[in-house]
Structure 1
Amino acid sequence: MRSPLLSITLTVFLVSMIGWLLVVGRSLLLPFIIAVIVWYMINALSNVYKRVGYGKWHVPGFVAFPLALLTIFGVSTFVLDIVTVNLSQLAQDAPTYQARLEQLFDQVTKLFKLHDPIELQDLLPDSVVPRMVTAGASVVTALAGSASLVFIYVLFLVLEQSTFDRKFEKLFASPERAAAAFAIREEINASIMHYFTIKTAVSVATGALTSLVLILIGLPYAALFGFIAFVLNYIPTIGSLIGVLFPSLLAIVYYDTLGPFVAIAAGLGLIQFSVGNLIEPRLMGANLNLSGLVIMLSLALWGAIWGVVGMVLCVPLTVMIVIVCSKIEAARPVAVLLSENGEIGDLPTAAKVDTTAS
């Protein structure tokens, strides 16, 4: 029988090794993780298409799945093209905006009669604006470059998904353990589907409203900022703040008056507040049962490991950890600590997973 100290040591060592592998293998794992997300979205959209019908007739599966596949890749290609064009144009205009920002600093210095003038390089590194835009363009270019690898991964996932259940069942020594594992998988799938469905719908609405406000006010790159708001809405707490900050800062250097800046900051702030604090909580409910502190720690952890992709995935990954730990008797204290109120439900006999299962 192993001593508690040995068990703790082995657990810490295992967690450290897994974390190290996640960081070191980032370039290899991220395309596969993105492919899994795309594959998951294709299946989810396919299920939505299957519900479409008239009377007793519904869209058959052999039509719904290819239609979902074409929809996902078509929308992704269209959005990526728009974002690339906007970023390229913004990269060309960045020196102009930086010069305008330096003029604003000069005006503030004269207005307050400061002896030591405020300069851009005092606050930010030299040529930071063009470099930030160039970095954003590089990220999009890298995503486009890895699109072929992601497509290959998705293709193999689609071709082999019919064997996943059979392989999963063979991992367990008895039908009871297999049934319990399938029950856990269904619960994880339902929670993640609930989260992603609502979060995606809310993010699309946020991005569309952001673009609409910027178009009405006349700020350029409305489509780009709408896409940024869509992506950042998946990142808890700080995502909505950054989504308001970027277009507001551009408004300061683009317009000669502060009126458009105030209108954009107020309009986008109202959108983020309404969506994030009024609409989304009502739609999301209490299904996730995650502590706010845990979400912030998870955001920092996965952001450090996988960057923006990790920030987007931090909530689903934490939900998976809570559900799995709640079904393993020895790991239930972990689920209790990660939950919002400590209520993770009883452990039914049919759902117990023996940690010694082979």
Structure 2
Amino acid sequence: MHSLTPAPLKGVSSGVQWLLGAAALVIVLGGLKAIGHIVTPFLLAAFLAIICAPPLNWMQRHKLPGPVAVLVLFSVVGLTFFLLFLALKDAAESMASQAPLYQARFNGWLIELREMLAARGLPRELLPSTLPLPATATITGIARGVAGGLGQFTASTLLVLLAFMFLLLEERYLSDKLNAAFPSRRRARVRARRFLRSVYRYLLIKTAASTATGVIIGGGLAFMGVDFAVLWGIVAGLLNFIPTIGSIIAAIPAVIIAFMGMGIVEGLLVLALYVAVNTAIGSIIEPRLMGTSLGISPLIVLVSLLIWGYVFGPIGMLLAVPLTMIAKLALDSSPETRWAGILMSDSVKRLHD
């Protein structure tokens, strides 16, 4: 009697197998996009839980009861969300009130530039009289809409916080569950623990570096008197999760605001602040803490931004690099898939390890 277990495919070329794998990946990504509004809150909660796992373990090692430790972390994260929302709300309201002023200044700069170039012999018809900027009412309306939406905790935020709390409660028994799930596979348990430690370490260091980046840049801009300094600090901290590209994107609006509102010298000082902070934290301190082996190829970063941004929208772009890094750590943790992790790296040194 023949076995009902399907035999492995034979005679299928590796090209066809790769094609089938790519098709399966596209189907999975399409499914995730369709249920993105459900997955995204739990994804954010999972990242928060991973970041808070080391502090939770530290509190438990110091004899603080597990439920109390979870409640402390839940309160801290909830308060942080609330303060961020308040800061963004105030910044959006301030931007709504000052948008007409900045647009008038920009139009004045454009007129002066046209006159200067025309005085040097450039035909006026080659110079644009206006730039396609949004109307002042449109900018004000968007800013006020953002302020109104951020002024309250939404259902999604509450869902994130609740899921975060339950994930922390679950994390306390994760080690015991690994032992029960793999009772006779010690090597599998070791690999799982090594992978989890790598993820914890990466996200904790990256979050600390991003927080430091946001605080230093926000404080520096406030000291210089740049408008919306708190907003630019929050943006710098969030976009620090995206290597290189995020730092550039975060610097552009703050530098433009400094040039338009304060002057050329102040704008250059703001630019120097961004360069100094991102060089010190992103290129010196962070690599030393993480280790150079955790780098991702710039091409992989760009592809991950496009893919996760398509699947989960702006939140996906924000979490694209952490998601990709977790995938790389998972690939590195197994000898069978380590080759894929090597291909995702930004260096070839690992090939000779």
**Superposition TM-score tier, normalisation by shorter sequence:** 0.7 to 0.9
Matched with 1:176 is 184
Task: Output the aligned Cα RMSD.
Answer: 3.1
Match for residue 301 of structure 2 among 284, 295, 306: 295
The answer to whether 1:269 aligns with 2:275 is: yes
Contact kept in structure 1, 2:213 and 2:278, CA below 8 Å = yes
Q: Give the TM-score normalised by the residue count of structure 1.
A: 0.80
- Alpha carbons of 1:85 and 1:341: their partners in 2 closer, same or farther (altered >3 Å)? same
The answer to whether 1:41 aligns with 2:51 is: yes
Aligned partner letter, 1:115: R
Extract unaligned runs of 5+ from structure 1. Answer: 52-57, 347-358
Distance 2:77 2:352 in 1: 36
Aligned length: 335
The answer to whether 1:85 aligns with 2:90 is: yes
Q: Which of 326-335 and 234-243 deviates more?
A: 326-335
Offset of residue 43 of structure 1:
2.5
Q: How does 1:198-277 map to 2 (within 5 A)?
A: 198-255=205-262, 257-277=263-283
Aligned partner letter, 1:305: V
Extract unaligned runs of 5+ from structure 2. Answer: 1-7
Distance 2:130 2:198 in 1: 47
Matched with 1:157 is 167
Q: How does 1:41-190 map to 2 (within 5 A)?
A: 41-50=51-60, 58-62=62-66, 63-113=68-118, 115-116=124-125, 117-122=127-132, 124-126=133-135, 129-130=139-140, 133=143, 137=147, 140=150, 144-161=154-171, 175-177=183-185, 179-190=186-197
1:313-339: CA deviation from partner (whole Å, max 9, x where unpaired): 333322332343345565444233223
Offset of residue 132 of structure 1:
6.6
Contact kept in structure 1, 2:89 and 2:148, CA below 8 Å = no
Distance 1:258 1:91 in 2: 24
Q: Residue 121 of structure 1 aligns to a residue in which SS?
A: coil
Contact kept in structure 2, 1:82 and 1:224, CA below 8 Å = yes
- Alpha carbons of 1:120 and 1:42: their partners in 2 closer, same or farther (altered >3 Å)? farther
Contact kept in structure 2, 1:335 and 1:344, CA below 8 Å = no
- Alpha carbons of 1:211 and 1:319: their partners in 2 closer, same or farther (altered >3 Å)? closer
The answer to whether 1:20 aligns with 2:30 is: yes
Distance 1:90 1:47 in 2: 42
Contact kept in structure 2, 1:34 and 1:150, CA below 8 Å = yes
Distance 2:37 2:330 in 1: 27
Distance 1:140 1:187 in 2: 39
The answer to whether 1:314 aligns with 2:324 is: no
Contact kept in structure 2, 1:97 and 1:254, CA below 8 Å = yes
- Alpha carbons of 1:263 and 1:67: their partners in 2 closer, same or farther (altered >3 Å)? same
Contact kept in structure 1, 2:309 and 2:315, CA below 8 Å = yes
Distance 2:139 2:242 in 1: 23
1:96-135: CA deviation from partner (whole Å, max 9, x where unpaired): 222221111111111222513434534x455575477468
- Alpha carbons of 1:162 and 1:274: their partners in 2 closer, same or farther (altered >3 Å)? closer
Distance 1:344 1:22 in 2: 33
Identity %: 26
Q: Residue 9 of structure 2 aligns to a residue in which SS?
A: coil
Distance 2:9 2:144 in 1: 54
